[in-house]
Structure formats: C-alpha cells, structure tokens
Structure 1
C-alpha cells in the first residue's frame, strides 16, 4: 500500500478525454521535438541531474534527480533528492500533466502515462516524482535508499527536515518547474496548458499546488484528497483505539488484534442497518445513499438499535451475520463522531454514514473495512492500513519532532498508535522546533480557503471524494468547500467544484459508480480550455450484477435498482442525484441533479470554523 493509485477510477471514460485543438496559435497537428531524446542527458538545469533519456515507442523517457544531497540531519546520513520521470511524446499537443503521488511516496513511477491512463498517448507531456525520497535501493534515480526498519521504516525520511518539505510541497513545485524547462528546450515552445491530477496523497498534492503555487497549473483535479492528513492521522489512532476495546486477543507485537472485532459478516450487517435508515432519503432504494447530509445520527441510531443482538429484531447471535453487539454499535458511534480529547474538544471531523462500510467481495476496494479492520486475514498480524501505512506516518511524519520507533516489536509503530495520547500527542501536529521549523500542518496540510490567487489567474479546480472512504472524512472536504465558498464571496463554483461519490472506496472501487477518471479529466480540460463548466460528471459501475444480496438483511429493491453495468451522474456539491421517477436505474439520463435543501447545522454537523486545534466542543 505504498502508493494508492487510481485503480478502478481509470477503467471507464478514459477514451472520452480526446485531443482538443490548443489555443494561443499552437499548431493543431502538434509539434515534433527539435532535439534528439538522448541529447537531453547533456542539458544543464539548476540543481538537476538528467540521469537517462531513452527513446521509446512514441515518446522520450527522461529520468532525473533534483537537489541530490547527503543528509547531515539524518543520523544514517542517507542520500536524498527529488527523483522524477518525464515522458515527452513524439508529437506534442501543448499540454503538460504533473501526476500526484500516493501514500508516503518513496517510489518513482518511472514511465508515467497520466493519472487517467491515456494522456501520454494523446500527446500530453507527463511527469511524476518520488516525493523526495526512495524506499528501494534498486531504484532508477541513483541507487540510494532511505528506509531504516529500526528507525521509522519507510517513513524514516521524515527525520530530515528538507525531506519533509520535499514530500509535503517542494517536490511538486520543483518537478513541475524543471519539467517545463525541459519541455521548452525539447520542443522549442512553452507549455500552453498545465495540469495536475492525483488521488489520496496525490489529491493533497493537487490541492496544495492550487493554494501554495497558484501560478503553476491551469487545471487541478484532486481525488479523495488527504488535504488535512495530520488531522486524519489522529482519526486513524482514534479508530484503532476504539476498536481495540473490543479485542479479545493480541497480535505478534503484543497489541490488540483488530480483525476479530468486526468480521466481514458484521460489517455487512452494519451496511444493511445504515441503508435501512437512509437509502430511501434520495427517493430510490438502490443501495446508494445519495442524500448523505440527511443521513443523520437521529436516523441511523434507531436502525442500529434494531440490528443490535438481543435487544433488536434481527437475532441474538454475535458475529452470526444478522446483528451487532452492543459494544460494536457503541464503537461505531464513537468512530463516526470523530476523535476528541479528554475535554471533549474535537480534533478532526465527524463522518457521513455510508453503506460503503462493508466492501462486498464482488466490488473490491480500499474502503472502511481495509483501512480500519483488516486488509488480509493473516493470523496474529494486524494488517489494517491504519496499522501499517498509518502507523509509520503517525509518529514519524505527523509528530514534530518525529518520534523515531522501530517498525515492529512491543515498542514499535503499532504500539505508538494504541498508546497515542489525544491530550498530549495530538497538539504536536502543530508543533515547531529549531530543528523542524515547519509543523506537519505547515508542510502537509492544504486547508487554506483563500484561493483568490488561483482564481485570479484563471485556474480551475475539480475535487472528487468518497462520501466515506475510511481514511478521509467526506464531511471534512464538504465542510472545507463550504468554508472556501464563504471566503470567496459565495462564488466558489466560478472556479472550483466538488463531486461526492457514495459507497466509493479510497481512490476507486466499492459498490459504487466509481469509474469516471476520463470523464473528469475531460470536464476539466473543457472548463480550462473552452470555458465550459461541468454541471455533472457521468460515472460508471463495473459490476455485472448488484454486489448486494437480493434479500436477507437487504431490501430486495436494492438488487433490483442498483446501477450494475450502468451509469449515474455525479453532481456539483451540494446537489445530489435524484431519480426522475421513470427510466432505467442504471442510466444517468434517468437522474437529475437537485438541491436537497441541506443547511449547515444539525446533529450530523458542527461549527464550520473547525481547524483541528480542539477549539470546538463535541
């Protein structure tokens, strides 16, 4: 899980991106290079080494490294630098795309094709980088490696302040700037349109670019963005500690064993309970809660009570696939309410209730189940992503100064998560020291709502997010968008639009209409280059049949109306997709984007001025 790629979001709609004529007098037929590919190895650029330039079928592949150095701050004195790859098509059509990273980065996509998978083939120049550090000594950017299993593992790079900056924001700016210098030399023309697109940490990269480097990109696509990753890290620790109270055994590191706390059949029960409360709120029972703002605790709690063993109407056998224990129900309530400190002050966000808490076997994806409970049933080993990828990031990257721990063992990264103190450790996401002059919120968070510079230079931003993907709260990105809209005088839609996707797992997958990357990219290029703003994005589902059972715990109408092998519209927030009352339920044309009447406040919301500092009462 080092990189969380777009997975299933690239499956549908990619061919729809197309190659449009570029403005500003750029030749419609494109331009050919004015120099040979191999000649690029002799190009002199600031603080940059071109390590290789190889002609491939249809394009030139360039590998390089920016600001290569030996760290004096890292006790291991590892070598660091921003490794990058740039693909230059034989016929270029004026566009450049920077691909965002993923996870904690640390590996270079040495042959970048584009975040939607088609851009290079359509004549775009495409770049990617490694986030300023490398996890594999056999990499293509110099053979250096900066992992230390006894000191942070793959997050060891965070012991170096410059490596933290490179990972947080500097790598994107440096790679895009150097790439465009190479493009200008290679073709003899400057880039006409510049884009960035990424998911997860790559979505954070994209939002960061719009806020910190508003001049770099004309168009930005941010998918499932970890725009406030340090705060989301607090929720990772909170969730695992809550689940840990249900554990009846320990793992190989002596920590609570989580997989048994919510077996798959129990998550299926939870999904059925949430659907029973909220599926019909959008006017169609189909396994998708489009009216997620209306799916409040006041509606969900009574449904959970009906599905509680012994006191509800769905059986008495714990883990039998029909009911949840009282402890499980209480745990879900605490998790979905979000982390707080001992004074009840909020530290991150609440979460929307969403049926994607369960991942049906025919609709795989990195959703709530994989982040919080288990990724693979390995006896005695916690494999939830929060306790693998997250357990390295929480002490090393999100704490300042970094808390250097071994990866495994009784005092390892897992132990840090389970012993995390929400009174004394949580504030350290804001801490600065002489050795680390930027807190994790400084170098990682993309939470600014002042996008005036980006808007002023004509930039366009599309954000797409799961309603609840298990790692980043959909309620958090919706709240940020509302705050930004207010900051921008209620005119956010002039340059920025948010699209929410129910049931979708992290960066794609799940029982959702999760395939839309190509259509999303076309929507952005049309907006940037033609001035056509998207009012909806059509998304597809790739399941041949409904991933939900046709009966049992689930309303039989779900299997009947689920959009298997079909499409649905993603609507501009806060609008939602609503069935028109006739037509196929797997046809986007049968749905309209309507205003559900949401207004901030209520038991599902809290003050929109939340910043994660614990100022708001739970």
Structure 2
C-alpha cells in the first residue's frame, strides 16, 4: 500500500509540473537530471563519501563508500566499508535496480549496467556494492584491501563481525537506501519502482532482501540462489571427502587429488545413465529430464548398476567412456543423498538426479564437475570451486568463531575441508559468541517461509533455479517453496513463483535452455507494474546443434529432439513442460505446462520435513 501511495504522489508531482505520465507513474518521455553529474561529489549523505561522479556517454557514474572504518576486531586493522557504484541515466524512467553480488563479494562492479545487461540502456538507475570489503588492492573504492593470505585469504574479512553483517545483508540494504537518496536529489523525484536481481550469492541477496527488508524492493528476481549457503557449505565439504576416498594421489598441499576421481568421460557416462532412467518420464526423450520429481533413486540406481564396469551391460574398462567403477557409483549415491552426521541425521538437502552432472564442452558452464572435481587442470593442484572459493568460506564465514588458517599448506583451507567433522564442526553454522553475536545462519541464510510482510506491501518474487547445479540443491529450493506455500496458506503463487531449469549449470550454461534473463526482467516488471503474473517464461538454447553425441552411451533420440537453436518454456513450479505431440521440439509453442502429479512423501525421495537444519532432515 505504501508503494502505491508513493507512486500516486509522484504521478501527482509530475502532473503538477506539466509532465505527462502513464497510468503506472512512469513518464513516457523520462526525466532529465536537475543537477550536474560532477556536482554529486559535494552531496552530503549519512555516513557516506562520494569519491567520484563522472559523466559518461548517456549516464552519470557515481562511486562511493558507506560506513568507512578501521576495524578494531581485525588483528590486521584493515579498512572496511561498503563500496558502491550507481549509474544514473541522462533520461530516467522511474525504475531502480540493485544488482546482487557473487561468491564472497569483495569486488565492486564499478560500472553497473544491470543484472540482465539491458537495464541502464532502458533508462533504469542501476547500483551495485562490494559486500563491505575489498579483495583487490587496485579497486575503485579508495585503494584498500582486506585480504591476508596467511589468515583466510579473500575470506579474511569474516574475522570482523561487522564485515560479516555487511556481506550477509547490510551492504544491499545500505546501498539501496543511499542510492535512492541520490536518485531523489539528482532527478528531483523519488523512485517509482525498485527491483533487485542477482544469481548465486546475488540470488541469496535478493531473497534476503525480500525477507529481511521487505520494504526495499517491489520486484525481486532470485536466480540459482544460495539462500541456504551455510548448510550448502556442509555439502561442499561432504562431497570432497566422499570424492577424496577415490583419489589415488595427493596435491601440493598433501590433500587428496580430486581431478582424477571423475574425469569428463566418466561424468558423461553418469549423465547417460541418469537419462536412461528418467529422460522418457516427461514423454519426450531429448536429453532433458523435465519430470525431475519422478526421477527417484529407485529409478536411477538400476540404471547406474547397468553402467557399472564389469557387472553391468556397458563394458568393463574403467575411465574408458562407457562405464563407471562400483566405487564411483557408490560415491554418487552418497553425494546425492546429502551430508549426514555419524547418527545418520541429514545436515543439508538431498539432490535431484539430473543429466546436468555432465557439462558438454560445446555447452560450457560452472556445472557439477566445476564445483566438485576440477575447473582448469593444473598438475598437482585441486581447482574445484569447492576447494578454492569454498575452502576459504567454510572455515572463515560458516564457522563461528571463524577458523583462521593460511590459504595453502598442510594445515591450510583445503586441509580444513578434508578434515571437517560433521558431528562437531557442522553445528557451528548455528553458533553465536559474544564477539560474533550473529551465527552464519543468522547473517547469511534466507530460509524463512513467512513472507507476509513482503506480500502485504505488494512485493513480487520470481525464483529460477537449476534442477541441480553442483553447488545448491534444486530439491532444497523446491522444498523451501512448498513450505513457504504452506506458510502462506497455499497462496504463494499470488506473489511468488518458482521456475526450475533442468541441465543448467550454475547461473547458466550446460546442455539446457539457459538464456532467459531479459524475459525474467520483463516478467517481473509486468507483474509489479501491470499485475500480470507470469504463467511461463520462455528460455532460449544458444547451441546451434545438440551438445550430446549422436551415439555411444546416449540414446540417439536425444540428439534428434534436443532443442538446439530454439526455445522451451520454463513453467511455474510444480508444473513441467510437456510436449504436445507434434511440431518442432525446439519451439516453446509446442509445449504445455502441465501438473506432473507430484505429491511430497510416499514413494518419492524428496520429502517435506519439519526440520530446522540442526541435524535431522534439513532444507
């Protein structure tokens, strides 16, 4: 209601000045600045320094710092602050977007164009922040750096409790608030519609904002959200320890060398096995498992047995591209069941079985292999993201108090991951101390299912997620959505909609229809500003030919029916795309969104559990 009143007030203000406005408060001809760009450097704002304001082609680029300080808690006494950038178009159309961050942040997008890449060009004001710390000595926010290779590396900032809060939630809230004040000064009008859009940690930023600061944004797009990052981090350690048992050598830090445990040809076999069990469940053999809820362990395990070297029907040569060893199959079963403690109590979600476990070379992306096995092969070096980015975050950010280790060495971050104790270390994501009064779950997670404040003020939420992207469980976000729907009296679709994307790697890529960001943007603006809720979002596939081989371990129908160079619909969960029976399989018009009849519990693997994540059946 407050937003509607504000929009009405702005419309009245424009009308009083003789400016024509649309029914939704957006002037069709836009608004020009009422002051010079350079003049913004003299603007006085609470706890904020404007470092530069530079006129560029078509917009004003503002860079500043909020709450700059010298840490007394950090033994290095580093400088901290929320670095931000704001681009203000020469002709503004009333919209503001906050871009979510990524990874552990620490790097400012100094020239933000918009999360979909088109917003600034369409007359939006666009802002970004660095999460309250800086990893680069040559950054645009004053030249300070918050890294210490001997004490946490790029995650060193987590030694400071305020920096943890800034990273978790405060950076987005403060940047959005200050940005709106600058917008009001620059144009002489308040923002009409506010949005946030981001992927991964940026998707978490978006979900956190809808739950913690429901007044900030009218529209929220959360892509592949790390909404439960502390518990997902437990799965990172779990997966690497499981794979570590397959390792036959050690890396430069004396830890299990993971790249040889699942070479690309083995991930390809795993993908083929999963497809052989589940691809036809949606009515079309095309390399995409749309009916992912029906793809249960009961269906997949016999297929894996068929592809097991020596005992199955696909050969007996390990790593030869046609079968998996029994140890590899056991490892996959253990990983996909999710981490547990010694009592067998679940610590994070289980996972959907999905063909995206293999990312074809012609459809690159940060898929399962990138996170768990290897990114770029380097002799003797583990480059899996879980053992680089994850290995820094697990001890520093997701343990309270932080466990300060050097980046490398026999007792470094990697060693912490392989020695992680799921009985004694896992509960520390909930720990609070006097020096760190907020646990990792407090300042990082966005697991609340009570979105009544966001719904009450008219907010709209679109979540899109890979069915299984290698770092965040698709089953986890689907479970959260079902629980949230229950909390919202079965009316979640009134204001929040989830879209699942099979095969997609983390934040895009993979053998999937992954190009849909601009369509998401159109969907959220239509929903917020026109009241038109999205029933489907059309996604495009940029592969001109099928990334699947035409033969070998894959069903030949896959290459024939894969939607190369075409489109497919993403459907409102729990609906799935179903082929109508005629027409090109790479045309979204030939697919309907249907209810697959999924019911939690029963014979399905993905149950709704009443758990808080403290060692039972977690999200």
Q: TM > 0.5 between the two?
A: yes
Q: Normalising by structure 2, report the TM-score.
A: 0.96
CA distance in 1, matches of 2:412, 2:618: 32
Consecutive unaligned residues of structure 1, counting only runs of 5 or more, are 1-19
Match of 1:65 in 2: 65
Counterparts of residues 311-326 of structure 1 (less than 5 Å): 311-326=311-326
CA distance in 2 between counterparts of 1:358 and 1:331 reads 16
Distance (Å, rounded) in 2 between the aligned partners of 1:503 and 1:27: 41
- Whether the 8 Å CA contact 2:204–2:446 is kept in 1: the answer is yes
How far residue 376 of structure 1 moved from its aligned partner, in angstroms, is 1.0
Which digits, 9 at most, give the CA deviation of each residue in 1:370-415, with x for residues without a partner? 0000001111000000000000000000000000000000000000
2:428 matched to 1:428?
yes
- Give the CA deviation at 1:608: 2.7
Residues in 2 aligned to 1:608 and 1:614: alpha-carbon distance in whole angstroms = 12
| Aligned equivalent of 1:84 | 84
SS at match of 1:592: strand
Asked if 2 retains the 8 angstrom alpha-carbon contact of 1:88 and 1:124, the reply is yes
- 1:21 Cα deviation after fit: 7.4
Task: Name the residue aligned to 1:578.
Answer: 578
Q: SS at 1:261's partner residue?
A: coil
Residue 606 of structure 1 corresponds to 607
1:504–1:514 contact (8 Å) kept in structure 2: yes
Q: Is the 8 A contact 1:22 1:192 kept in 2?
A: no
- Tell me by how many angstroms 1:25 deviates: 4.2
- Decide whether aligned partners of structure 1 residues 465 and 25 sit closer, same or farther in structure 2, where only a CA change above 3 A counts: closer
Residues 367-446 of structure 1: matches in 2 within 5 Å? 367-446=367-446
* Residue 615 (structure 1) shift: 2.6
In structure 2, the partner of 1:181 is 181
In the alignment, which residue of structure 2 is the partner of 1:5? none
Distance 1:22 1:405 in 2: 57
Secondary structure in 2 matching 1:260: coil
Give per-residue Cα distances to partners, 1:262-308, cap 9 Å, x unaligned.
01100000000000000000000000000000000000000000000
- 2:556 is aligned with 1:556: yes
CA distance in 1, matches of 2:607, 2:529: 38
* 1:606 Cα deviation from its structure 2 partner: 3.0
> Is residue 568–residue 591 contact of structure 1 (8 Å, CA) maintained in 2?
yes
- In structure 1, the residue matched to 2:513 is 513
Residue 169 of structure 1, CA deviation? 0.1
**Number of the residue aligned with 2:529:** 529
**CA displacement at 1:551 relative to structure 2:** 1.1
Q: Residue 229 of structure 2 aligns with which residue? A: 229
Q: Check whether the contact 2:25–2:192 (CA below 8 A) recurs between aligned residues.
A: no
Secondary structure of the residue aligned to 1:165 is helix
Q: Residues 307, 394 of structure 1: CA spacing in aligned structure 2 closer, same or farther, 3 A cutoff?
A: same
- Equivalent position of 2:14 in the other structure: none
Matches within 5 A, 1:34-53: 34-53=34-53
- Aligned equivalents of 1:264, 1:234: Cα separation in 2: 25
8 Å CA contact 1:23, 1:529 repeated in 2: no
Q: Count the aligned residue pairs.
A: 599
Q: Is the 8 A contact 2:347 2:618 kept in 1?
A: no
Higher relative contact order (CA 8 A, sep 6+): 1
Instruction: Show the counterpart of 2:12.
Output: none
Provide the rounded CA distance (Å) in 1 between the counterparts of 2:210 and 2:459: 8
Residue 616 of structure 1 corresponds to 617
In 2, the alpha carbon distance for the partners of 1:85 and 1:529 equals 26
The residue number in structure 1 matching 2:27 is 27
Deviation of residue 472 (structure 1)?
0.1
The answer on whether the counterparts of 2:483 and 2:608 sit within 8 Å (CA) in structure 1 is no
Change (3 A) 1:26 1:554: closer
What is the CA deviation profile of residues 123-162 of structure 1, one whole-angstrom value per residue up to 9, with x for unaligned ones?
A: 0000000000000111111111000000000000000000
Task: Report whether the alignment pairs 1:98 with 2:98.
Answer: yes
**CA offsets, 1:426-450, max 9 Å, x none?**
0000000000000000000000000
Contact 1:406/1:413 (8 A) holds in 2: yes
* Deviation string, structure 1 residues 4-38 (Cα, Å, up to 9, x no partner): xxxxxxxxxxxxxxxx9754544211000000000
Distance in 1, Cα, partners of 2:113 & 2:618: 46
Task: Tell me the CA shift for residue 596 of structure 1.
Answer: 0.1
For 1:259, what is the secondary structure of its paired residue? coil
1:395 counterpart SS class: helix
Query: Using a 3 Å threshold, how does the CA distance of structure 1 residues 270 and 52 change in structure 2: closer, same or farther?
Result: same
Tell me by how many angstroms 1:609 deviates: 2.1
Kept after mapping to 2: 8 A contact 1:344/1:617: no
Per the alignment, do residues 468 and 348 of structure 1 end up closer, same or farther by CA in structure 2, a change over 3 Å counting? same
RMSD of aligned alpha carbons: 1.1
Output one character per residue of 1:154-174: Cα deviation in whole Å (capped at 9) or x when no partner: 000000000000000000000
Question: C-alpha separation between the residues in 2 aligned to 1:346 and 1:265?
Answer: 31
Q: Please list the CA deviations of residues 172-205 of structure 1 after superposition, one character each: whole Å capped at 9, or x if unmatched.
A: 0000000000000000000000000000000000
Deviation (angstroms), 1:617: 9.4
Could you tell me which residue of structure 1 aligns to residue 129 of structure 2?
Answer: 129
1:22 touches 1:93 (CA, 8 Å); kept in 2?
no
- CA–CA distance in structure 2, aligned partners of residues 390 and 26 of structure 1: 43
Q: Could you say which residue in structure 2 is the equivalent of 1:472? A: 472
